[in-house]
Structure 1
Amino acid sequence: MPPCHILILGGTTEARALAAVLAARPGVRVTTSLAGRVSRPGAIEGEVRIGGFGGAEGLADWLRAEHVDFLVDATHPFAESITANAVRAAGSAAVPTVVLRRPGWHPGPGDRWHDAASLDEAAALLPSLGHRVFLTTGRLGLAAFAHLRDLHFVVRSVEPPAPPLPPHTEVLLARGPFTPADESALLREHRIDVLVTKDSGGDATSAKLTAARSLALPVVVVRRPALPGGVETVPDVTGVLERLGLTP
């Protein structure tokens, strides 16, 4: 009997952890697909493929050709188009699917959060909140801030950001995780007075929120895009294993 083939759409900490658990299971073949946006991804257990599929139709063809039994979308919460294509492809190929999404962040006592529905909305809020901005929304989509000529931006990303960028921009190339002490030191060193982040959730990048709280800085938090209707979601690796009928 051929092994059960599970495709993970990866790129997150949870995807890597899930691949490690599944690769150690007898009778399971696990393939993790990465979009290829990061030039040096970390080590991943099991099979790995790099690059897109060619939209929903291409992914559906791959699911059939590779005899995939189950699809797990464990991409970043803001990988909206990938998730939409995954749901359509899985439906077309009649492959069961689940979306693994870590829970989002929630403000606590002392937080000065400002909600934004998009990067454009976040940019519109900034002039009233501060002049030195720590921008941690990733290397893509910075064009939304490029027109803010009177603000100074510190942009942190793993890979060099794609232009256009705001005219007054410092780029910090760094890979987390970072501690609250690290983040507090950075905010002080660069005299940051407002932080912008996406609601990525999880602990790996939450230290900047702790640091901003300790310094009483305003934080603009971009909300996650809505998931496709009817899609099944789980919050963690254990949820995926339960959905697969595998004991954690």
Structure 2
Amino acid sequence: MTLLILGGTNEARLIAEALEGQDAILSLAGATRAPKTQALPTRVGGFGGAEGFSAYLDRHDITAVLDATHPFADRITRRTAAICADRSLPYLQVLRPPWQAEAGDNWTEIAREEDAAALIAPDAVVFLGTGRQSLERFANLAGHDVICRQIDPPTSPFPFPGGRFLVGRPPFSVQEEYDLFQALGVDWLVVKNAGGGPSRTKLTAARQLGIPVLMIARPARGDWPIVETVHAALAWVESL
């Protein structure tokens, strides 16, 4: 059996560590320029669409696919699930639970990035914890004071007026996020409902500071096999 793990999340890293030495390959999309060293043989970069992915499966005799990509990597997940179904190839998605609001949180759920501008005053300081990949969808925030945090230094200018990049590599503690938001004078925090413990610290800091949060809803769940934990994913691998 040769297992292909589609990674990029903390879950993928933990799964790779648990499967070290076994016949498995970890694939990273390459969103981060200098990813951390992984416990399994690792490839980095896209596959070249559906045809390229299918060719990779054949070339490396992949017998099962474990999808531990980001909860918002919906296009990749749907494509992968469909190709595996067509090939009768075992497929499983690891999808951690979404965040749920707690007492004191002030969250407003929105369906897409473009919906944020209608809720934010023109003079507000907006902190985007959404990464650079969907940044252009916030173009109607042009003229606001927008801060977008990303892991790598930018290679191009901010895509609309009023914005600036902030470089930082997670994880961040609650205190670090609290101090940062306070220093920047953040009025709104915008995030995707990615779930997970390590990145929830920004939400805790926002609650402590009374900062309202725009929470971008997740894509709809698919009808393919899904588990929520690393333990369940490893049990599935063991059952193959």
Long gaps (5+) in structure 2: none
Question: Equivalent residue for 1:182?
Answer: 176
Match of 2:206 among 195, 207, 212: 212
Question: Equivalent residue for 1:241?
Answer: 234
1:7-36 deviations in whole A, cap 9, x for unaligned? 000111111110111124xxx311011111
Match of 1:87 among 59, 64, 81: 81
CA shift, 1:61, in A, is 2.4
> Which range moved further: 9-18 or 90-99?
90-99
Query: Secondary structure at 1:90's aligned position in 2?
Result: helix
CA shift, 1:186, in A, is 0.5
Question: Equivalent residue for 1:98?
Answer: 92
CA shift, 1:188, in A, is 0.6
Query: Secondary structure at 2:69's aligned position in 1?
Result: coil
User: Quick one: structure 1 residues 48 and 198, their matched pair in 2 at CA, closer, same or farther if it must change by over 3 Å?
Assistant: same
1:71 counterpart = 2:68: no
CA shift, 1:6, in A, is 0.7
- 1:139 and 1:159 in contact (8 A); partners too: no
CA shift, 1:164, in A, is 5.3
- 1:64 and 1:93 in contact (8 A); partners too: no
1:139 counterpart = 2:136: no
TM-score by length of 2: 0.93
TM-score by length of 1: 0.90
Q: How many angstroms apart in 1 are the aligned matches of 2:9 and 2:216?
A: 19
Q: How many angstroms apart in 2 are the aligned matches of 1:238 and 1:155?
A: 34
Q: How many angstroms apart in 2 are the aligned matches of 1:103 and 1:219?
A: 19
Kindly tell me the number of residue pairs found equivalent between the two proteins: 238
- 2:114 and 2:140 in contact (8 A); partners too: no
1:154 counterpart = 2:151: no
- 1:197 and 1:222 in contact (8 A); partners too: yes
CA shift, 1:171, in A, is 1.4
Q: How many angstroms apart in 1 are the aligned matches of 2:95 and 2:81?
A: 14
CA shift, 1:242, in A, is 1.5
Give the counterpart letter for 1:171 in structure 2.
Answer: F
CA shift, 1:102, in A, is 1.2
Q: How many angstroms apart in 1 are the aligned matches of 2:59 and 2:143?
A: 53
- 2:158 and 2:164 in contact (8 A); partners too: no
- 2:142 and 2:163 in contact (8 A); partners too: no
1:23 counterpart = 2:20: yes
Q: CA RMSD in A?
A: 1.7
- 1:60 and 1:92 in contact (8 A); partners too: no
CA shift, 1:138, in A, is 0.5
Give the counterpart letter for 2:142 in structure 1.
Answer: R
